[in-house]
Amino acid sequence: MIAEHVAFGIIAAVMVASALRVVTARDIVHAALYLVIVLAGVAALFLLVGAEFTGITQVLIYIGAVIVLFLFGIMLTRSDFDQDGETDHKRKLPAILTALLLLAVMIGALVDRFGDDRLDPTPQTTAQVSDELFSQYIVPFEAVSVLLLAALIGAIVIARREQGG
């Protein structure tokens, strides 16, 4: 287990450093690129605990799609290249408080659910994941897909209304 611990330490350190840079970077594109490193770190952690499918999904969805949309939006809306200090804003304190609250809730939930449990280190196969997804977790799975569909339709409706329809 030593190699895994060392790997975890390195990945976690890189993630924390990059996460701090996400909120302190003066340039918003740099912030988005640091976020890529954080998300890649999450994927690496998933791989480390043997959740191959989840790790790869993390890369495909978050880095391949979400970040690309972020960058796409940023570049589409601000085209002048030297803007410094624009990422700072006045509501720093509420933002920090919200982040701390979220951290407390997540730590509480994780400790309450898992406590001192040790993770089973055997890698999960894709077949296992899909079996569980379509039997035990079928209701949340379907609920999420309906939610996504609603968001999709909502986005199209809003976009069309603004066009002057």
- Binding residues for other proteins (CB under 8 A): 27, 29-30, 33, 36, 52-53, 56-57, 59-60, 63-65, 67-69, 71-72, 75-76, 79, 81-82, 123, 125-126
The sign of the torsion formed by the CA atoms of 75, 77, 82, 83 equals negative
> Which residues have CB under 8 Å from 4's CB, separation 6+?
48, 121
Give φ, ψ of 45 to 5 degrees. Answer: -65, -40
Closer by beta carbon to other proteins, 15 or else 36? 36
Q: How far is the CB of 30 from other proteins (least distance, A)?
A: 7
Q: How far is the CB of 25 from other proteins (least distance, A)?
A: 12
Closer by beta carbon to other proteins, 80 or else 117? 80
Q: How far is the CB of 88 from other proteins (least distance, A)?
A: 19
Closer by beta carbon to other proteins, 23 or else 37? 37
20 within 8 A of 43, measured Cβ to Cβ: no
Q: How far is the CB of 81 from other proteins (least distance, A)?
A: 4
41 within 8 A of 11, measured Cβ to Cβ: yes
What is the maximum alpha-carbon separation in the chain? Answer: 62
Q: How far is the CB of 152 from other proteins (least distance, A)?
A: 13
Closer by beta carbon to other proteins, 98 or else 145? 145
> Which residues have CB under 8 Å from 75's CB, separation 6+?
29
Closer by beta carbon to other proteins, 93 or else 146? 146
Using CA atoms, how far residue 117 sits from 9, 110, 128, in Å, is: 20, 11, 21
